Amino acid sequence: MSARSHSMTTTWRVFDRLRRGIGPRLLVRVLLFSVVSTLVLTLSQLYLDYRRDTGAINGRMSEIADSYGHSLGEGLWNLDRRQLELQIEGILRFPAVRFVEVRETTDRGDPMVVSGGARRDRPSVRRQFPLFRPARGEQHQLGVLTLEASFDDVYRALREKAVVILTGQGATIFVVSLFVLYLTHRLVTRHLTALAGFLRHYDVLRPPPPLSLQRRPPTENDELDDVVAAFETMRRTLEQAYANLRASEEVLRDYAETASDWFWATGSAHEFTYVSEQVRAFGFHESELLGRRRLDGADDVAAEPQKWREHMAILERHEPFRDFVFQRRRPDGTLQIVSASGKPVFDGEGRFTGYRGVARDITELRRAEEMLRDREQRIRDAQLELARVTRVTTLGELCASIAHEINQPLAAIVADANASLNWLAPPDPDVDRVRDSLDAIIKDGHRAGEVIQRIRQLTTKGETQKGTEDVNGVIRDVIPLLRSELQRHRVAAQVDLAELLPPVLADRVQLQQVIINLVMNAVEAMGSIDDRPRQLVIRSRGAADEVIVTVRDAGVGIEPSAVDQLFSPFFTTKPGGMGMGLSISRSIIEAHGGRFWATPNADHGASFHFTLPALR
């Protein structure tokens, strides 16, 4: 840039500053106002002067006519030219009078005319006065006095006055305006400029010391102090808000940095635009993911097309998603299971710009879950097996009684068969009695067969099979297996079944096992009782939404110290006991959604209860 054009731009900039500043605008307005008002005042002043001075001239002419009229009339009467000339000379000495003429009024062709001074074509003022002479008591007009005056002097005086006023006022206005400009600068503009500079360089990250104006403080706060105070308030609020923001940002960053999840962002085409470096802990580098879509790196698209179709549809609809689980291969070839959640992001105009979200490696979690499931399955299997083994064991204990239960019908069958043979021996056999015996044989055969059938049921291995069951039927089913055992121990059993029970969803064999366990425990608890009846009650009741079964005995009762452990596995007070009966029974009932508990009886013995949810 040449020096010339540089200086021109500088000049322009200064001029521009001046043009835009408050001071110059103020100056221009003060000047304009003062000039206009001064002009108006001066003009009216001059006009008044003009009126006064011209009025004075007019008045003077009348005075002249009055005071000279008589002597001029005399001079004209005497036709004394000399005297008239003297008089005219005298009149001409009055200021502003330029021309005087005395003209005789006569019918003669050459009236006497005496004049003095210089006549003008267009005098400022011309006045004519008649000249009289008194004769015989009448006034006779002898002639006319013509006076001409000029306002030149008035005009000159006014001009001089105008010049004096305007120069004086103009100088004053100029000085005052400059003073106003200076005052404005001192009191306002320089502070505004300082304020603007302060604000321009204000940085909330490095807050400067509080703003203060470079001036002698006024006795009372003025508008500038208000501005400074308002700014200081605003700045404190701003700094506080910024500090809060920083603090919460720090908290969030701490969370983010310590989280094992990683953060991601995708663009409008669902390609990764950002992946936080936590992803490195899971075998990836961010750069391997950037620019690619989630789908591109997935390993289960072919295996689960439906899942991916749905996911892509959600992305296309710009909807949030949570815990979308998918698989992908790490660079080292191992499989990674990822759970991702995200929400769509829209810009200020509501346009979709992509997604933001978090993702988590759940490979280990999945593996642990699988192991847990596996272990749970094994435990379930073991429990089933244990239940079966204890059933078989119980049956073993019941062996003698069951054998008796089977022997009885068998013995009856043999007896009936022998009797039938006898009745068939005579030539005229008693066929009716033989038929009755055969009926009894069939019934006994069925009875024995049923017992064996039930034993087979109880000993079969296998998964639990839940079906709609009638609890009363289950109780009735196990009685034949227990009848001999009860008789052997001289126990009086009472079966008290509710008439209408809602059905339950249950595994029949397992329910039988629970009832057998409870009855066996009851029998054993009453083994040592000889001073009172060995009474056993098996009761069923229906409640609003469940079935309650109670097995009540009159045995030794439960030791208070044993109450807590009763249902623990391997807790037993019996020499040959395993301590598994109640524990298994309780897990069976709980697996059916029921409850299982014991209560002491008011008189003797204990009651064991369980519930099963009713099937509606």
Ligand X SMILES: Nc1ncnc2c1ncn2[C@@H]1O[C@H](COP(=O)(O)OP(=O)(O)OP(=O)(O)O)[C@@H](O)[C@H]1O
Among 553, 554, 589, 610, binds ligand X (CB under 6 A): 553
Q: How far is CA 375 from CA 212, 370, 379, 380, 382, in A?
A: 76, 8, 6, 9, 10
DSSP tag of 468: E
> Restricting to residues 294-353, which ones interact with ligand X according to CB under 6 A?
none
Give the nearer residue to ligand X in terms of CB position, either 399 or 442: 399
Half-sphere exposure of 409 (CA within 13 A, CB side): 20
Give the nearer residue to ligand X in terms of CB position, either 210 or 577: 577
Which of Mg ion, ligand X, none lies near 579, with the C-beta cut-off 5 to 8 A by kind? ligand X
Near ligand X by CB under 6 A, which window of 264-272, 317-325, 409-417, 556-564?
A: 556-564
> Restricting to residues 490-549, which ones interact with ligand X according to CB under 6 A?
517, 521-522, 525
Are 430 and 423 in contact by the 8 Å Cβ rule? The answer is yes
Q: Which residues contact 59 (CB under 8 A, 6 or more apart)?
A: none
Kindly state the smallest distance separating residue 394's Cβ from ligand X, in Å.
7
Q: Which residues contact 594 (CB under 8 A, 6 or more apart)?
A: 546, 610, 611, 612, 613
Q: Which amino acid is at 494?
A: Q
Give the nearer residue to ligand X in terms of CB position, either 28 or 495: 495
Kindly state the smallest distance separating residue 548's Cβ from ligand X, in Å.
17
Give the nearer residue to Mg ion in terms of CB position, either 75 or 605: 605
DSSP tag of 99: E
- Dist. CA 194–CA 129, nearest whole Å: 79
Among 207, 208, 577, 593, binds ligand X (CB under 6 A): 577
Which residue sits closest to ligand X, CB atoms considered? 581
578 is a contact residue toward ligand X (CB under 6 A): yes
484 is a contact residue toward ligand X (CB under 6 A): no
Which of Mg ion, ligand X, none lies near 583, with the C-beta cut-off 5 to 8 A by kind? ligand X
- Dist. CA 452–CA 450, nearest whole Å: 5
Rg (CA), the chain: 68
Query: Over 183-243, what HEC string results?
Result: HHHHHHHHHHHHHHHHHHCCCCCCCCCCCCCCCCCCCCCCHHHHHHHHHHHHHHHHHHHHH
581 is a contact residue toward Mg ion (CB under 5 A): yes
Near Mg ion by CB under 5 A, which window of 132-140, 334-342, 520-528, 599-607?
A: 520-528
Are 606 and 598 in contact by the 8 Å Cβ rule? The answer is yes
Among 437, 521, 535, 585, binds Mg ion (CB under 5 A): 521
Near ligand X by CB under 6 A, which window of 49-57, 115-123, 355-363, 577-585?
A: 577-585
Among 73, 354, 502, 555, binds ligand X (CB under 6 A): 555
Give the nearer residue to ligand X in terms of CB position, either 361 or 553: 553
Which positions lie near ligand X, rule CB under 6 A?
517, 521-522, 525, 553, 555-558, 562, 566, 571-574, 577-583, 606
